[in-house]
Amino acid sequence: MGRLNGRQWVVVVGVPLMSVAIGLVARCWLGGGAIIITVGLLAIFLAYLLVESRRFALGLFERQVKEVRSSYVQLEALLGLHALLKPAAPLPPTRFWAASPDLLREVALHIHRERPRHVLEVSSGTSTVVIALCLQRIGVGKVVALEHDAHYAEVTRRAIADHGLTGIATVVHAPLKDQQVNGETYPWYDLSGLRLGEPVDLLVVDGPPDTVHHTARYPALPMLAAHMAKGARILLDDGDRADERAIAERWAKESPGSQLGYLPLEAGAWSLRLP
């Protein structure tokens, strides 16, 4: 913060020095008139700096306006969730690594409208608690969440217990291991500890992190296809990323008759309705 990077040093220091050097060289041929060239180059450079600083200020202002609007939308969604669910304890943090409130609201609306009996979540956290609260409210259904990180799995279990949801929500520690999916190798969840008694009506995919593979979330549908109910819905978070777009489109292509749609949420999301 406050320090010039290499490119900025070149622009701020190098360009004026170059202008002076050009003026000195020109003086050999033009004499005292060469100062006009130096002054002209410096004037052009100053005009460039003014234009760039104005462009930067406008860009910063636009980002601030966008963030304020986004924060308002997320706060509105979060207040709506609290009003609907009336949690017995504070909800875990949202946004950033956790799901954004607008995605949680989309999940809550789906559960309210379609009353799924079995929800599976690929990853765990705030969304697990919200899903369980929704199922508790409608009086039917269970949620199972896969979590590759043992510490975070325990954090989610404590949050579930704090809200009195241990009879509704289960977190399965499923470490990542190499899985062969359609001829490719992916680090994905070990399903040996997963027990699914009923077909999955709603699948929410928010893991693994993209740092383990550029399309790390693709195996979700191929690996779980045999457990999906007819007409089940899949929600894929972080839909604004190019990799997630590619994953969603590949899922749709490999599931003839399915319906794919984009949800314009904070991080973007894809909704796939199986046939």
Dmax (CA) of the chain: 92
Average pLDDT over the chain reads: 89
Question: Out of 3-7, 211-215, 233-237, 267-271, which region has the weakest mean confidence (pLDDT)?
Answer: 3-7
pLDDT of residue 53: 80
Residues with Cβ within 8 Å of residue 254, at least 6 apart in sequence: 221, 222
Provide the pLDDT for residue 8: 65
Task: Encode pLDDT of 22-51 as tens digits.
Answer: 767 766 766 666 677 667 777 777 787 788
Q: Check pLDDT > 90 for residue 262.
A: yes
Q: Which residue has the higher pLDDT, 53 or 149?
A: 149
Residue 275 predicted with pLDDT over 60:
yes
Q: Please, what's the b/e burial string for 117-146 (b: 16 or more CB within 10 A of its CB; e: otherwise)?
A: ebbbbbbbbbbbbbbbbbbbeeeebbbbbb
pLDDT confidence of 77, banded at 50, 70, 90?
Answer: confident
Q: What is the mean pLDDT of residues 210-231?
A: 94
Please state, as a whole number, how many other Cβ atoms lie within 10 Å of the Cβ of residue 245: 16
Average pLDDT over residues 173-189: 95
The pLDDT assigned to 29 comes to 66
Q: Pick the range with the lowest mean pLDDT from 107-116, 126-135, 204-213, 257-266.
A: 204-213
Residue 105 is predicted with a pLDDT of: 95
Q: Which pLDDT score, from 0 to 100, does residue 49 have?
A: 75
Q: Inform me whether the pLDDT recorded for 2 exceeds 60.
A: no
Cα gap 5→14, rounded to integer Å: 13
Which pLDDT belongs to residue 176?
97
Instruction: Give percent of the chain above pLDDT 70.
Output: 89
Identify the residue with better confidence: 127 or 80.
Answer: 127
Q: What is the mean pLDDT of residues 150-179?
A: 96
* Beta carbons of 143 and 166 less than 8 angstroms apart: no
What pLDDT score was predicted for residue 113? 95
Is the pLDDT confidence value at 73 over 70? yes
Mean pLDDT of 100-115: 95
Identity of the amino acid at 178: D
Give pTM, 2 decimals: 0.78
Q: How many Å separate Cα 42 from the centre of its chain?
A: 45
| pLDDT, position 14 | 67
- List the one residue out of 151, 272, 167, 158 whose CA is nearest residue 221: 272
Task: With cut-offs at 50, 70 and 90, classify the pLDDT of residue 4.
Answer: low
pLDDT at 200: 97
Q: Percent of the chain at pLDDT above 90?
A: 60
